[in-house]
Structure formats: C-alpha cells, structure tokens
Chain A
Amino acid sequence: MSSYPLRNVRVLDLSTVWAGPVASQLLGDMGAEIIKVESRRHIDLMRRLDNRAMEQSIDHIAEIPITFHIFNRNKLSVALELNTAEARILFERLVAVSDVVLDNFSPRVMRHWGLTYETLSEIKPDIIVASLSTAGQWGPMRDVMTYGVSLAAMTGIDTQVGYDGTHPLGSQRAHTDPMSAAFGALAILAALCYRDRTGMGQYIDLSQAEACSTTLGHTLMDFVMNRRDSQIRGNKHRWAAPHGCYRCKGDDKWVAIAVITQEEWHALRRVLGNPDWARDERFEDAHNRKLHENELDRYLEAWTITLDQYDIMLRLQKEGVAAAATLTTTQIAVDPHFVSRGVWTSLPTNRSAIIPDVHWKLSHSQGGIYRMAPALGASQDYVFGELIGMDQKEIAALEDRHVIY
C-alpha cells in the first residue's frame, strides 16, 4: 500500500481563484504539501465570495466560503506581503526547501518582484516553477484581461455552444479553469518525473488559451484541411438522428437520446411500441432521418413528455440505446450512481455540506482529504518556525511590520 504518492513533494502556491488552486488541489489530494502564500492586501476572491465582510471571512475557518473549502482542502497558508523586500527574502528561504512554485499572475507580477525562474533556480537549482497565465508569459496577448468565460470565447471553445448557426450563447461556465488546472497538474507531474531522472528542475509556461485549444481537435483539423470553421449544432449530431434532448414529464425535466446505428433505431421503435409514424419511409435510414430530423424530434417528444426522465433512460438503456436523463446539480448530488462511485464526500465540520471527493481514484495509491482549507496565514508557526527555523519573536516582529501580512 503506497498511499499519498506525492507525499514527498512541497509546493509553494501563489495562485488564486480557480485554475491555479485546483491544479495544486489535484496534487494536494494525492499527498503533496501545498503551502498557499497569500496576502491580506490581495485576498483570494474565493475567500470573499457571498459578499461577506472581510474581517469575518478570512480569519475563522467556519466563515470560509464553501467554494474556497473545495478548492483548498488539504492546504496550508502563510501570509506574505511580497511587495516588501523582506517578504521576498522570506519567500526565497521557503523556495530553498520546496520542490515547486506555482502562480497564476499576469506575467509582469513575478518579474516585477524579481522572483523569476532565473533567480529562484539560483536559490534551489532543481526548483520547478509553473506559471499558469491566460495567454502565455510572452506574446502580443500577454497582458490581456480575461475571466474563464471570456477566455473560452477568445479561443473558440465557447463559440460552438448555441442552438443553431445563428449566434453563440457560450456555455457561461468557466470550464477553461478546471481544464487548465488538470493540464497544470499534469505539467508539474511531468516536470517532477524529469527531475527524478535527471536531477534538474525547469520552468513551465502554461497558456490557458493554448492548453484548452488542444481540445478542439476535430474543429481545428477541419479548418486546417478544408478552411471550414466551427459550426453550432446544439445537441444535434453531424449525420445521425434522432439525436437531441427531449422534454419529459414535470418541470424542466429532459432526457438526452442518441441513436447512431440502424439497430439502435429499431430498438427505439420497439420501446415506443412500434407506432405507425416510426415505420414511415421518412425515417427508414440514417440519411432520411437526418433529413426529416425536426419532424422526428416532434414525434419523439410527444412520447417523452408523457414519461419520467429516469424511466425513459432505463427503458432505452435496457434495449441498448444511449439515453441519459439530463440531471441538475441537485440531482447528481444524490444520484445513486455518482453516490456509489464516491464522487461526493462532506465537510467534517458540516456533514450536510456535500463536496467533491478526491478525483483521481487509484487502487493502491490512495489520495484523501485529511485537512480542512486553512484560515489565512494559519500555518505560519509550522512554515516559518519549523521549515525555516525562525523563532516566535522574529515572526511577531515581521507581523508587526506587515511583512508577514
């Protein structure tokens, strides 16, 4: 049994909000020691959610917003005012005993502080420094301001989301954040592998725009080969029908049905009770079904609207048709499959607060949630005292001068 496979890895995490913190969360869940290096002057947005008064939310665990709990479980926290030279010296002392430095600042920030890879690798030659930025550490878009949702628009990822060809809706979700987080964790793990073999650290420049663009395979290759760009297709398939989302009994209840093969079409017909309309030549093969897709959808929805979404899903799945109830966020919290998979756990201090459990499930190398998200600066005795041997007086003096702040 080799639990917590990353237990010998220490990460100094300067990142905030979503992408950076979740990258280190993925590593922390597998045992890496993640030390958040925070600042009272620029408090992580996720500590300030729900419009709580700042004094209330940052110093007491119970007042930490739930999203911060999710993204920052298992982590430690120190407060350093890196705009002061003394704080930067302290930070460098931490680098000397760490393996990875992670940030998601806009590129000029670390440079402005003199905390570049060149400087940090002089302190610790095998240090791995990873910077997650919107569009990369250099380039014409280096200083662009975006949020996750707008980043998706800029890369074309969200431009494909809509009902039809007329206009993009966008997903209105910052999916680029967790996606970039996973790429970030992977890049850091790869750098750790390289260090394991060669003893060398390195610098990782991760542009979230570029990382997420690698998931646009089909679209980009179509553009390269045929100069044909994104098409908005809603829930429809390129050539197969029926393929869509149909209203079911109840308020805002839906089911997704995907019929790709002729066999699946026959199976669907059987479940429908072989109605006359389904035998019409308009629907006899894939080509014709696609041609008459709108009528087909209307017939199908006349059936689904009389039934429960789960009922439809189970009946169709039994006959080998890909059908899925469109579940909401409250539904997936209690759905028997996700519950049995261990997707959810709860906060130790509040059993009714359901949070996502460790995402990477390995048979021997278990990860785990072994510590709550930290209050700001709560770990300074361990980090400054034990890791770099400062005494209480020193620490107190730096607190007074707002260096540890």
Chain B
Amino acid sequence: MGKKRSHRLLAGNTSNHYRCSQMMPGALSGITVLEIGEMISAPFCSKLMADLGAEVIKIEMPFQGDRARQTGPFPQDVPDQEKSGLFLYLNANKLGITLNVGDPEGQRILHVLTQRSDVIVHNLPPEQADALRLTYKSLKLHNEGIVVCGISSFGRTGPYKDFKSTCFTSCHISGVASVVGEPDREPLTLPEDRSAYFAGINAAGAILCALFGRQTDGEGQDVDISETDILAGLLMGSSVTRAVIAGQPTPRMGHRMAVAYPHAVLPCLDGHVALVAFEDDQFQRLLAVMGNPEWGSDEIFRTKRSRAAVVDALEDLLLPWFKEHTREEIFHLCQGNRVPTVPFYAAGEAMYQPHMIARGFFSELEHPVAGRLSYPGAPYRLSKSPWAVRRAAPKLGEHNYEIYCGRLGLFPEDCSRLRDRSVI
C-alpha cells in the first residue's frame, strides 16, 4: 500500500526537515525532488526548482554519471568529469548520489527514495523509462502522492514516441527550423540545445500545477512533457494558426522579419544591429537620427504598406549610414530618439555589458575541483523568497554517504557491498 503524503503542498516528511524549511525563505522549501536526468531538459527543470529552495537529489549512474560531465566546456579544453561547465551550471544546488535503477536492489532503493519525495523528474526515452519502471503507474504504488514528470522529445504517446532525437532534429520536426534562415537555403535549428531548456521550464511549471492539484485529494499524477509539443504548440502555435488560415506555410525571410520593414539585421561599422523601425512614426524618427537624408521624403517610404513594396531598394539606401557608425553609436542615437534598435552582442559580450554587471546577474561559486567560477544567475527576482544558490554541483556520488547511511539508515558495510556490485 502506498504511503500517503500530506495533503498540503508543502510536504517535508521529517520534523527536522520541516523546521528547516520553515526557517529557509526558499519559495519551494519543503518540496523534495528526485532527478534522474542527463544533459539539459530534466536537469534544468530540477535546477529551477532547486534554485527556488526545493531539495533536489540527483541520481546518476555509477562511474559515468550524467553525460553532461563529458560534453564540456572544460577549462583549457582538458576533459575532467568534475569540471564540465554545462554540468556545473545545471547541477549546482543539488545533492548527488549514484544509483543503478536497473538493478533489482537499485529499484528497491528507488522505491524508498520515492516514499520520501514529492516529485520525480526524468528525461529518459519512454521505452527506457518503461523498462526501468520509472513511471507514475509503477511508482505510485510506493507513494500515492508522487508526481512523476517525464520529459522526452516526442512524449510517451504518438507515432514518433520512440524516434531517436536531439534538440536539432526536434527543432526541425516541430516547425521551428522551417522559418529560420534564407529562403533559398536550408532551414536552421535553434543553436545550443535551446529547446531542451524550454522543455525544462515548462516541465517545472507543470510540476508545480500538479502539486497544487495534489492539495485537493493527496493524489500525485503523471506529467508527460514532450519537447516537440512545446515547440510546436507554444513557440510556433500562433504562426501555425495564421498559416492554416492563409493556406500557406510561414516563410523564412533571412535577415528580415516578415512583419514589416525596417525590421532586420544590418551590418554596421563594427558588427551588426537589430534595426527595428517598422511603425511609421518609428521610421520617421529613424530618418531624423540619420540626419533626414533627401531620399527619406519620398512618398513611397511613408507607410508600412508602401515600404513593403520597395524593401530591397530601401535597405540599399539605409546601409551606407549604418556602415559608417558603430553598434554603440547606433544604439544610443536610436534609443535616444525612441527607435527600438539594439546591437547584436555575442553572448559572453552581452553578459559583461555594464547593465548586466550592475544587475549582478552572475553569481560566483566555489567548487572543490573546478575552483571558483561565475555562473549565470537568477531568471527572476522574488523579493521575499529569492533565488539562491547554496552549493556547487555535486561530485559524482558526493552525497552517497549522507543519503544512504545518514537518511536511509544503511550501514557503511551495506554501502560497500552495493558499491562492489555497482548498484551505487
């Protein structure tokens, strides 16, 4: 019979834990999450929760651990499973244990951990999750209130559910790539596995809704997050609707945005800018910024509609002025005259702009092997229960003793035996 957890959203299960969570200001203090994830989507989901105060226990396979430990980036490009930048970033604030959930003893340990948790989040492919009995159907037998969230490329159902996929193929199949790139060249994916982050954010939101749902009757549930569903429905949804009505697929426009002109990436003296001046009043103010060139007074440039007919010619007229000015000059001149144009910064460059430094966006953490590093910080600032990073990412199996012996009451000899058998 499954152990029923408290009906409250908050579900600390020992009085110690509850007292701690009362003292701690984290928004999600008192919520315990088990993460069985690799790379980005599930780890980012549980990171979001950990950073808001949930206790997250990350379960990794013995010896190898999360694949992200091998991807890097590494300092000076020297691989080290304790120094992978992606892993360190995504897994700060978590306790780390090793456990082979495929082993029968590993399964029993998982069940005990399940009894003491509110949420399990994983990103195993559905077939593998089923084989490991890492499903709501199986796990609810051990904890009626458990919320099990699986994040996968295509979800647990549907004709593509067992397809092999990466963020790259997900972007292509979900309509995202078809609208990015030059019209006569191949469509482009979103870079750097962005879609996995997006899936993770949505999973976290859905999990919190599931916890609210649990308040009514104490029952947990299954949350099935498909990365491609989220891309197709949430990222591309409004475009799909309009395309179906228009009877034509949404086009790709290269360096220009479809809506109106000017709304484009233009080269300038020292890089590129995102020129946005497509509303008529914005365009007039842009002309003023450019010193009111004579060609600007031509009737053909007066309205959105008329400009749309002469985009190429207009761009040729704009380019020379842009090529004579730097990104900063264009940025300040335009913003000063209410033209919403901004420079293209590379990501690292953007992070070290004065306003990011002033906002204190980066936070520093000391890691026992990787040393002191800066990490991207809070996506939002909550005034009373702030985002906070309390500890660096765990070394592989770092908290085995604390969890197995300290909390589950195993003896050190048991742990040695399990280690010898590669269960932990």
Contacts and interface: CB of A to CB of B under 8 A. Distances in A.
Interface of A: 2, 5-6, 22, 26, 30, 66-67, 70-71, 117, 135-136, 138-141, 144-147, 149-163, 167-173, 175, 178-179, 182-187, 189-194, 196-197, 200-207, 210-211, 213-230, 232-235, 237, 243-247, 254-256, 258, 260, 313, 317, 320-333, 336-338, 340-341, 343-344, 352-357, 359-365, 367
A204 B380 contact: yes
A322 B198 contact: no
Nearest to B201: A182
The 4 A-B residue pairs with the shortest CB-CB distance in the complex, in nearest-first order: A221-B85, A223-B348, A156-B347, A365-B213
B179 interface: yes
A245 B186 CA distance: 6
Given A66-B245, A190-B382, A343-B229, A156 B172 contact: no
A341 B158 contact: yes
Contact of A170 (B232, B248, B344, B384): B344
Contact of B244 (A154, A163, A330, A364): A330
Interface stretch (B219-227, B306-314, B395-403, B405-413): B219-227
Interface in B163-203: 163-166, 168-175, 177-182, 185-194, 197-198, 201-202
Contacts of B348: 156, 219-220, 222-224, 227-230
Given A214-B379, A328-B175, A341 B157 contact: yes
Given A193-B27, A223-B347, A178 B234 contact: yes
Contacts of B190: 161, 171, 175
A341 to B, nearest CB: 5
Interface centre among A136, A217, A360 (most CB of B within 10 A): A217
B379 A359 contact: no
B55 to A, nearest CB: 14
Nearest to A153: B274
B253 interface: yes
Nearest to B71: A218
A177 to B, nearest CB: 9
A326 B187 contact: yes
A357 B232 CA distance: 11
Nearest to B214: A2
B177 A326 contact: yes
B180 A185 contact: no
Contacts of A70: 237-238, 241
Contact of B385 (A171, A191, A229): A191
Given A219-B192, A327-B174, A191 B376 contact: no
Contact of A182 (B52, B169, B205, B212): B205
B212 A5 contact: yes
Interface string B336-360: 0011111111111111001110110
A156 B173 contact: no
A355 to B, nearest CB: 5
Residue among B209, B211, B265 facing the most chain A CB atoms (10 A cut-off): B209
B233 interface: yes
A153 B172 contact: no
Contacts of B420: none
B172 A245 contact: yes
8 contacts: A26-B205, A163-B185, A168-B344, A221-B85, A254-B172, A329-B249, A343-B229, A361-B225
A238 B84 CA distance: 16
B56 interface: no
A211 B380 CA distance: 6
Given A153-B345, A215-B194, A326-B178, A355 B385 contact: no
Contacts of B225: 360-361
B302 interface: no
Interface stretch (B72-80, B104-112, B291-299, B315-323): B72-80
A139 to B, nearest CB: 5
B235 interface: yes
B202 A206 contact: no
Given A221-B88, A329-B236, A354-B241, A337 B159 contact: yes
A264 B86 CA distance: 25
B174 to A, nearest CB: 6
A149 B274 contact: yes
Given A5-B209, A191-B385, A327-B175, A218 B73 contact: yes
Contact of A362 (B75, B209, B375): B209
A338 B232 contact: yes
Residue of A30, A172, A232, A313 with most partner-chain B CB within 10 A: A172
